[in-house]
Structures are given as structure tokens and as C-alpha cells.
């Protein structure tokens, strides 16, 4: 059993990576393949972090057609996700520093398969003990189930636990799971959104890791 006294759970999109280009491209292309007009980019970006099916339904796709759109999206995304995604500034260094004193995990609404491929692409997969993706739970953030599943898989006992994310859904899930929420405001959150839901708001993952390791 690890003697590290902290566990840090990280969201993925908008927290560790910027996958905006890949998401927008795949969203637009899925509408083209389905013969419909895609929503505006800003509307799509406002929904990043929600499960993919919910994103399509929220932008006007009829419920009975959502799975067809999701299938088209994933076919597009699988061909571009590594090429069109970048690791956010300073993240790799911050994660290596965090891993020296904390146990790390990723908790995301992105599909686990693509999440792992991206973590491997950026050579950071080995830093995380576990990954909880959208297919691993029946209820998504802001419900606490994804966070609680990650902690269970890690054999959580008495460690201090933190959730680092860029949306209020991350912070609300943290609160419901009894985990300290640390927001980073360089992601998809609307201006001042995190101030209403996070215990702490930082400018970057590096700043968030510094705060957590100093607590």
C-alpha cells in the first residue's frame, strides 16, 4: 500500500488537455454525415464535459437519433483525436511533480478508450493509477459516482482527496463525494463560473498542484 497521503483526481478535457479542435471537427462532421446543420462552435464548447449523447440532445438532435450521431462522431474522432489535441502548458511537469507526493487518477466523461490513447500519446499514462471513463459508470458528473468509483479502485483509506477540474460539474461531484474541489479556469467554464462552486480556483494545473501539495 502506498504511503502517499494524498489522492488527486483530474478531469481531462479542458483540465489536462485542449481537445477543442478535435471535438469541434468531429461534431461538425457528424452533422454533415447525418445531413444536418451543426450548431455554432460556442454552443458546442459550452457543453464540453457532458456525456456525448447529452451534448447532441442539448443541441437539438432528436433523442431517437442521438446514438446515430454519437456513432458518426466517434468514427470521425478516432481518426483525428491525437493529431488535433494538445497537452495544456506545464501539465506534464505538474503531473510528474504531483506523482512524487500523491496518487493520481483521471475521472472523465470522455470514453475511456480515447482517454487512454491520449494519455499514452502524451506519455503520461503511467502516472495514473486508474482511469474512469464514461462507459465505466451509469451516472456521470455532477453525480459523485465516477469519483467514488475511482477512489474505490484505488483502495482509498485515509488519504486527503482532491478533484481538479475546469467545470462546476467537476466541483459539484467532488462536493457530493466528500472530496475537495480545485478549479482551473483555463478550460471550458464560463467566466466566473468556478467561483460559485469550487473551494479554490487556480489559473493552471501547475498552480493547483502547488496548492494541493502545500496543504
Kindly report, residue by residue over 56-75, the tens digit of the pLDDT. 999 999 999 999 999 999 99
Query: Would 1 be classed as within a structural domain?
Result: no
Whichever domain contains 92, its CATH number is 3.40.50.1000
pLDDT in tens, 166-201: 999 999 999 999 999 999 998 788 768 899 999 999
Same domain, 11 and 24: no
Same domain, 27 and 122: no
Average pLDDT for 139-151: 97
Same domain, 28 and 133: no
pTM for this structure? 0.94
Question: What is the span of the domain harbouring residue 41?
Answer: 20-80
Same domain, 101 and 139: yes
Looking at 11, 18, 166, 185, which residue is catalytic?
Answer: 11
**b/e string for 16-52 if b means 16 or more Cβ within 10 A?**
bbbbbebbbbbbbbbbeebeeebbeeeebbbbbbbbb
DSSP state of 125: G
* Residue 145 · residue 138 · CB < 8 Å: yes
Same domain, 40 and 51: yes
Domain count for the chain, please give it: 2
Whichever domain contains 37, its CATH number is 1.10.150.240
pLDDT in tens, 86-124: 999 999 999 999 999 999 999 999 999 999 999 999 999
Same domain, 202 and 158: yes
Query: Which pLDDT belongs to residue 13?
Result: 96
Q: Residue for cell digits 483530474?
A: 10
Same domain, 182 and 132: yes
Same domain, 105 and 208: yes
Same domain, 38 and 94: no
> Is 13 designated active site?
no
Amino acid at each position: 500500500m502506498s504511503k502517499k497521503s494524498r489522492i488527486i483526481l483530474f478531469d481531462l478535457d479542458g483540465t489536462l488537455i485542449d481537445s477543442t479542435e478535435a471535438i469541434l471537427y468531429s461534431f461538425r462532421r457528424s452533422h454533415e454525415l447525418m445531413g444536418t446543420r451543426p450548431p455554432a462552435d460556442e454552443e458546442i464548447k459550452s457543453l464540453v464535459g457532458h456525456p456525448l449523447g447529452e451534448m447532441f440532445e442539448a443541441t437539438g438532435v432528436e433523442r431517437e437519433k442521438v446514438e446515430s450521431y454519437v456513432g458518426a462522431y466517434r468514427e470521425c474522432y478516432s481518426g483525428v483525436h491525437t493529431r488535433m489535441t494538445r497537452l495544456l502548458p506545464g501539465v506534464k511537469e505538474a503531473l510528474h511533480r504531483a506523482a512524487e507526493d500523491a496518487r493520481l487518477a483521471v475521472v472523465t466523461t470522455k470514453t475511456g478508450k480515447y482517454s487512454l490513447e491520449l494519455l499514452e500519446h502524451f506519455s503520461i499514462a503511467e502516472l495514473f493509477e486508474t482511469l474512469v471513463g464514461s462507459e465505466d459508470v451509469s451516472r456521470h458528473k455532477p453525480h459523485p459516482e465516477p469519483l467514488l468509483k475511482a477512489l474505490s479502485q484505488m483502495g482509498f483509506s485515509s488519504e486527503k482527496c482532491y478533484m481538479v477540474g475546469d467545470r462546476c460539474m467537476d466541483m459539484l461531484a467532488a462536493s457530493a463525494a466528500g472530496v475537495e474541489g480545485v478549479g482551473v479556469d483555463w478550460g471550458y467554464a464560463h467566466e466566473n463560473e468556478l467561483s460559485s462552486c469550487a473551494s479554490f480556483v487556480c489559473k493552471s494545473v501547475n498552480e493547483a498542484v502547488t496548492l494541493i501539495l502545500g496543504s
